[in-house]
Homo-oligomer: A and B are copies of this chain.
Amino acid sequence: MKKNILVGQSGGPTAVINASLYGVVTEGMNHLDEIEHVYGMVNGMEGFLKDDYMNLSEELTQKELELIKLTPAAYLGSCRYKLPKDLTAPSYPTVFRKLEALNIGYFFYIGGNDSMDTVSKLSRYGARIGSSIRFIGIPKTIDNDLMLTDHTPGFGSAARYVASTVREIALDASVYQQRAVTIVELMGRHAGWITASSVLARKYQGDNPLLIYLPETAFDFRSFAKDLSRALERQPNVVVCVSEGIADSSGRLICEYNDEARLDNFGHKMLTGCGKVLENFVHNHFGIKARSVELNVSQRCSALVSSAADIEEAALAGAFGVRAALSGASGQMVAFCRTCEEPYAMECSLVDVNQVCNREKPFPVQWIIENGTDISPDFLTYVLPLIQGEVKRPISQGLPVYAFRKP
């Protein structure tokens, strides 16, 4: 008897989460002997619990699917919903009744480590009640902080966006002769992958950004003042890239030197403002022009310079997940395994989702050099293959065309 697929998107948007959705839907439709429908949860588990879903295999044309593949954010909508820790909670029978009612055989959740927690819990509950539904996680996060995978879909495009934009900001910063410091605040609460990518912005050795600070190293204002003094001796315009999550050696976040922190639904601190704190510090300490630029949500939602490599790998992850589930896998996350460095080659594999959820992979300390102010060339070998390739995008009236669900 044929079964149906249910796929959802969860957590923050990326430039390529829809490419993974494309991968799941198109691969599902390649197996019409085993799959009847591919359903999509609208707004992830939160929407699904309110019976909000759509029939993707029926409602979408191939042309629409191709457009979805190139559209940033999350076509199905997303959520930040966490299932109870206690597997005897009433949510679990509710979810499984809904899954059975839709004749779901294969469940795919595209997201980061919070979303892998959902996959882990559902697959453990399913095993407990002897359900035959297979649960697979498809990785997604611009932060590149998932365990057991070489990298995550979404990171390559974010890295490319950051590199391109910081390169432009460095050009902008260089036009005046006056000594001036530009602080660029980049995403990354605990992991410095995105901020490290700003090293790609350099057009030549010794170019801006002259200083790069990741959350993996304790930030110290006195060291920063010394580092910056030295940089200002080299050239009048200094660009400094910092992760939003940099903290001092006591663990106090630099943005809390401001005190605007709030909490999100997961109890994460909502960070803003370490760039502003440093801007004020530079202005007061050096008495020179300082400004801060927060690249903000564009890091995760901009498709202006999406990496074609990233899009193709994201689609591949979705398709591989479907094939794995059909072959019997469950409670696994699709991972990327780099099989060759030069030339770059990678293969998809499966890893235990329980080893991934609620854990974070920091930026390697051996790639942080110059007393925590620069990034090793080894990182370039790692990251360059992930930012390659131009996307040919449909344009209408001078602007990129994106897919969206009709309101």
Contact = CB atoms under 8 A, between A and B. Distances in A.
Interface in A371-388: 384, 387-388
Interface string A1-24: 000000001000100000000000
A92 interface: no
A186 B68 CA distance: 28
Interface stretch (A215-223, A290-298, A350-358): A290-298
Contact of A79 (B47, B168, B177, B303): B177
A169 interface: yes
Interface string A383-407: 0100111100001011110101001
A388 B399 CA distance: 8
A175 B13 CA distance: 8
Given A43-B176, A399-B164, A171 B301 contact: yes
User: How many copies are assembled?
Assistant: 2
A305 interface: yes
B388 A398 contact: yes
Nearest to A171: B73
A267 interface: no
Nearest to A390: B395
A269 to B, nearest CB: 15
A153 B296 CA distance: 27
A163 interface: yes
B402 A77 contact: no
Contact of A296 (B167, B293, B402): B293
Contacts of A304: 164-165, 168, 304-305
B297 A176 contact: no
Given A77-B174, A398-B307, A399-B163, A72 B294 contact: no
Nearest to A43: B177
Nearest to A14: B172
A257 to B, nearest CB: 16
Given A171-B73, A404-B203, A165 B298 contact: yes
B301 A399 contact: no
A161 to B, nearest CB: 8
Nearest to A387: B398
Nearest to A301: B172
A400 to B, nearest CB: 6
A294 B171 CA distance: 19
A158 interface: no
Interface in A34-54: 43, 46-47
A166 to B, nearest CB: 10
B399 A80 contact: no
Contact of A167 (B163, B171, B305, B400): B400
A387 B177 CA distance: 32
Contacts of A200: 397-399
Interface in A51-98: 71-74, 77-80
Given A46-B177, A171-B72, A171-B404, A160 B77 contact: no
Interface in A140-194: 160, 163-165, 167-169, 171-172, 174-177
Given A78-B175, A175-B78, A296-B294, A168 B398 contact: no
A134 interface: no
Point out which of A168, A171, A398 has the most chain B C-beta atoms below 10 A from its C-beta. Answer: A398
A302 interface: yes
Point out which of A177, A201, A206, A291 has the most chain B C-beta atoms below 10 A from its C-beta. Answer: A177
Contacts of A165: 298, 302, 304
A264 to B, nearest CB: 9
Given A169-B297, A206-B407, A387-B398, 9 more contacts: A13-B175, A74-B175, A164-B399, A165-B302, A165-B304, A169-B298, A171-B301, A203-B404, A384-B397
